[in-house]
């Protein structure tokens, strides 16, 4: 929790404390907590003041007035099922490969490595997967416990699909955003809030870095060491994540990432309750090797991180622990 609270922000801060969430980035009860809720770090002047953070006008948390369990979470005995969306309306990352043919579950090419990997990882856990890049197939989301935006970017949804996604989230659905999902729907504030109030701004070259575990209690991080190596583009984000539970950061001294307003912390994964639903997010996953059997330091943690985060967003495992 930031120590710089100006007039008008105290109620927001108190609400966030009650929900166990962080404003502007630091997670409560984290690996570097000193009892003051700011992870033991000093708050520099370039960090965000609370009353400058957007709240997107949505209800948050698990109170019955905010959190809806209307059948979009997984129920014991039901088939677990996810919907994977990888449509790109801008530059396409190599791990997505060739654009998919129209329709639901079209044939995958050998270069569609992220789709192939995510499908295989999910099926290993008994999760059925439907995938598409066809707007005509972006419907009936209530058949799924989670919707995964896998590297989808720019104006990836039309008006009808935006409404479908919004209604799904409000009905208690789970959302997972991976890597260039942060480069999508820049002009839709609701989606920006779903991402944790963050959007892709820029990145440096794909390079080695050290991932730091901030939250040791969440199912998507509890198995990790405090630090582990990984290679990525290390996204810089504007706006900076807010009202979220930060799970992982990258050590900027190793990534040489340009802060772009981040201050001393550089989150790469977080979660939140948003407008009745659950949202789990990571900027990681650029390197093709992260999705294949090619050697990449830390890829075993990445895989488990993504799958545990996905299962928590689905309601299969506890979500967003603090």
Model pLDDT for residues 258-286, shown as the tens digit of each residue: 555 566 788 999 999 999 999 999 999 98
Using the predicted structure, report yes or no on whether residue 61 has a pLDDT greater than 60: yes
- pTM for the model: 0.84
**What angle, rounded to 10 degrees, do the helices at 299-314 and 113-124 form?**
60
Q: Which whole number is the average pLDDT over 174-196? A: 90
Q: Which whole number is the average pLDDT over 149-163? A: 89
Q: Are 234 and 268 in contact (CB under 8 A)?
A: yes
Using the predicted structure, report yes or no on whether residue 97 has a pLDDT greater than 80: yes
Q: What pLDDT does residue 56 have?
A: 85
In sequence order, what E strands does 155-305 have?
A: 174-178, 200-202, 207-213, 227-232, 236-237, 245-250, 267-274, 277-282
Find all residues with CB under 8 Å of 278, minimum gap 6, and list them: 172, 173, 174, 175, 271, 272, 312, 313, 315, 319, 320
Using the predicted structure, report yes or no on whether residue 120 has a pLDDT greater than 90: yes
How many Å apart are CA 68 and CA 79, to the nearest integer? Answer: 20
How many Å apart are CA 160 and CA 119, to the nearest integer? Answer: 26
Per-residue b/e over 166-186, b at no fewer than 16 CB within 10 Å?
A: bebbbbbbbbbbbbbbbbbbe
Find all residues with CB under 8 Å of 12, minimum gap 6, and list them: 23, 50, 51, 53, 55
Q: Write the pLDDT tens digit of every residue in 231-266.
A: 998 878 888 888 899 999 998 887 765 555 566 788
SS3 (DSSP) at 264:
coil
Higher-confidence position of 39 and 135? 135
Say how many CA atoms lie within 13 Å of 62 toward its Cβ. Answer: 10
Q: What pLDDT does residue 280 have?
A: 98
CA 193, distance to chain mean position in Å, is 11
Q: Which whole number is the average pLDDT over 128-153? A: 92
pLDDT band for 98, please (50, 70, 90 cuts): very high
How many Å apart are CA 147 and CA 79, to the nearest integer? Answer: 15
pLDDT band for 29, please (50, 70, 90 cuts): very low
How many Å apart are CA 195 and CA 280, to the nearest integer? Answer: 8
SS3 (DSSP) at 7:
coil
Q: What pLDDT does residue 282 have?
A: 96
Q: What pLDDT does residue 62 have?
A: 83
Q: Are 32 and 207 in contact (CB under 8 A)?
A: no
Q: What pLDDT does residue 261 have?
A: 53
Find all residues with CB under 8 Å of 309, minimum gap 6, and list them: 176, 219, 220, 269, 271, 280, 282
How many Å apart are CA 3 and CA 184, to the nearest integer? Answer: 32
Q: Write the pLDDT tens digit of every residue in 198-227.
A: 887 777 787 899 999 999 999 999 999 999
3-state helix, strand, coil in the chain (%, to 5): 25, 20, 55
Q: Tokens 């059925």 identify what position?
A: 128
Q: Are 258 and 281 in contact (CB under 8 A)?
A: no
Q: Which whole number is the average pLDDT over 180-191? A: 86
């Amino acid at each position: 929790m930031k120590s710089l609270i100006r007039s008008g922000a105290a109620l927001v801060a108190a609400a966030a404390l009650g929900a166990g969430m962080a404003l502007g980035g630091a997670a409560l009860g984290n690996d570097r907590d000193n009892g003051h809720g700011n992870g033991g770090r000093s708050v520099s002047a370039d960090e965000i003041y609370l009353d400058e953070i957007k709240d997107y006008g949505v209800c948050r948390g698990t109170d019955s007035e905010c959190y809806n369990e209307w059948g979009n979470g997984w129920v014991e005995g039901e088939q677990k099922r996810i919907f994977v969306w990888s449509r790109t309306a801008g530059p396409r990352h190599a791990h997505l490969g060739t654009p998919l043919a129209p329709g639901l579950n079209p044939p995958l090419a050998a270069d569609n490595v992220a789709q192939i990997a995510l499908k295989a990882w999910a099926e290993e856990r008994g999760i059925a997967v439907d995938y598409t890049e066809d707007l005509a197939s972006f419907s009936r989301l209530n058949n799924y416990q989670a919707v995964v935006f896998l590297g989808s970017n720019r104006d990836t949804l039309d008006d009808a699909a935006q409404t479908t996604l919004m209604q799904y989230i409000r009905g208690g659905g789970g959302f997972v955003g991976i890597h260039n999902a942060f480069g999508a729907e820049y002009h839709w504030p609701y989606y920006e809030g779903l991402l944790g109030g963050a959007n892709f701004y820029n990145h440096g070259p794909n390079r080695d870095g050290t991932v730091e575990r901030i939250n040791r209690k969440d199912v998507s991080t509890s198995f990790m060491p405090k630090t582990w190596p990984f290679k990525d583009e290390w996204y810089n984000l504007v706006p900076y994540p807010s009202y979220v539970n930060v799970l992982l950061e990258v050590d900027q001294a190793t990534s040489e990432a340009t802060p772009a307003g981040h201050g001393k912390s550089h989150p790469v994964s977080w979660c939140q309750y948003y407008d009745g639903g659950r949202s789990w997010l990571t900027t990681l996953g650029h390197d093709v090797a992260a999705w294949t059997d090619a050697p990449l330091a830390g890829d075993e943690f990445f895989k488990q991180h993504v799958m545990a985060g996905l299962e928590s967003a689905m309601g299969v495992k506890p979500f967003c622990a603090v």
